[in-house]
Structure 1
Amino acid sequence: MNVGHARFDLTPNGEFYLIGFRSENRMHPASGVHDRIYCNSLLIEIDGRTMFIFSADFLEFEEAMAEDVKTMLADLYGIDRDMVLLCATHDHSSVVSYHKGWYTHKFDQRYYDFLIDIIKRSYEECRRTMVHATAQYGSKVILGYYGNRNHPGQPADNEVIVVKFVDDNGNAFAGLVNWAVHSTVISAENTWLTAEFAGNVSEKLESYFGFVPAMTVGAAGDCSNRNQRQGKNFAELERVSTGMAREIGTIDCSRNLALDRMVNQTLYHTIHTDSYHLDAKGEVIDLGDLQLFVFGGELGSRFGIEMKEECGKPALVLGYANGYYGYWLPEEEYGISFETKTSPIPAGESEKLVEKFKQASKLLSK
């Protein structure tokens, strides 16, 4: 296996607007930059196939943009379109400029072009830094910083997973962190750009790992730090990001993973009613000792736990990837939670989708 990595600054210049929360203040220019936003990328090559993971401090990626990027990278570099994963950390205080469909209509073509160029440069930098590598894995249930935001004290997916890539000299040089939590410490009243929870934890992990990991968000539809936070300001962000970085930084990653294959199965789930139509797309990628569940929606934490447990091997759930399909929570949540009251996804459809993921996982494990 060969692995390359890249990190680029995505902070806008000049006047810009924020995304997230659907707050009135998103109609006005941001106050400025509190902390900068970044993208972290990985290019993994196994037996002639490559997979590109581009993780950015954004709220989400539009599916149309993701498809354009897949085609662009396939045409330029020959990568399989299905092996391009654009992952957002779900930052609710990020920049809106790249988003063509956000309700505030603050799209900026110059920033969009800048982002497309950054994605290409990230791929090329990953190719330049690519070296032979092995993978190491560790996980830990971390409590006290986030949990089930709809039912305080009830279970959520609090397992944090770390995958590190190690060169032939035994040095860990790149990797990723997978967790299931909304990156929403700061309140909707905030008007300053910030990398929020995920971005700040990522940057602080450099002192523990020796590199800045890509942050990927799992089944976080009902997970946040709403019931654990001691404030909604930047002081609280500093407290929780420092604490989480300390917890994640000490995870034992001594388990070796044999990543010796790259096979995938794309799956589709269509919802059609008199007033709503959706063709949602997901994917399972099997790398040998590791599987990835890729989906552009906000799965309930129960589903993330089920999918990982039934996989039978280490697995990551990559939510907010290659599109955005809204909330997908368990049927019993309907009519109770905010997420289900506002979702056009009918009750019971989430279970059908998750069953498809489980079937694809079993198929690829054979």
Structure 2
Amino acid sequence: MRAWYATAGGLALALCLAGSAAAEPIRIKDIGKMSGWRDNALNGYGLVTGLAGTGDSSRNKTARQSIANMLSRFDLTIAADDVQSRNVAAVMVTATLAPFARPGDAIDVTVTSIGDARSLVGGALMLAPLKGPDGKIYALSQGALSVGGYKYDMNGNVTQKNHPTVASIPGGAIVEVGVASSAADERSSVTFVLAEPDYTTASRVAAAINGKLGGQAAVARDGSGVDIQIPAGRREHLTDFLADIENVMVEPDRRAKVVINERTGTIVSGGDVRISKVVVSQGELKVSILTDNTVSQPWVIGQGGPGVQSLAVSNSRVTVEETGGAGYVTANNTVGDLVQSLSRLKTNTRDIISILRAVKAAGALHAELIVQ
């Protein structure tokens, strides 16, 4: 029988109660950013050369046409149908342009195959322009690929590690056009935006900034943004002012969440997510059917007259085993307590997930249950 009992003094079966950990103050720069700071997506099309016969096949007209177009820039005229190389692969190139990027900065790029190439191991990206959503070129990328895997096949035998058709080039793109970002936009105020909107946290951020600057310089506009007035004497040194704001300490509020991934059997929960009084019953039904095949022979071989012969007999046995038990969980216990106790009882992760979902449905789990 499986059972767990939570009491005021402890939990039976040697469960250690984990007290709710008090939230520690952190810098506000770790829970949000100033409005106007954003990354910009770049993408482009290119060719990877130098592959050892693992590139796009001759059936891929995109790669063949791209090779012919590339050679035409070097005063070489060749028809696309005449290209038969398997050492080239057509790829898409993506990168992220950080805020305040300046010309000459190096950024990382990701290269992905769009054809039927088997592997990008050993290849090098030819010069490829990276464009923004507005169609303008912001960076140029090229260089040797770094692939964290491989794939080799011969005579029907395949050996593969990780994903060989996706690669990266650390620092493989050079910024040509920077991004002009101004935190204040020549205004007298800035807005701090929380990464996870929450009214309580926004109010605490405004109070902490006011305690640092004095007065009522910061006002929580809503659960996401906090408006901050820039003092007239500090507008000429805006960077120093924003650095002081970023390092203000605040104790953020946290919503209770339990995240469950049924595909991998992963459960992630805050250690202080509470469970109300609830009774849980969990059991398993095991049915075993065994069949014994025997042969019945006549008492005297060769006697008994016509029609007497050996007879095959099947004897079946059905066994039903039911295991499981019920548990009573009192108040002031957490999800961590329950999961720890079930783990010590050697309850598998799938059963724990089912129990947590049932506890949530019963209204005893005071947290948002997220199933991925």
Alignment TM-score, normalising by the size of structure 2: 0.19
Rg comparison, structure with higher value? 2
Alignment TM-score, normalising by the size of structure 1: 0.19
Greater per-residue helix proportion: 1
Greater per-residue strand proportion: 2
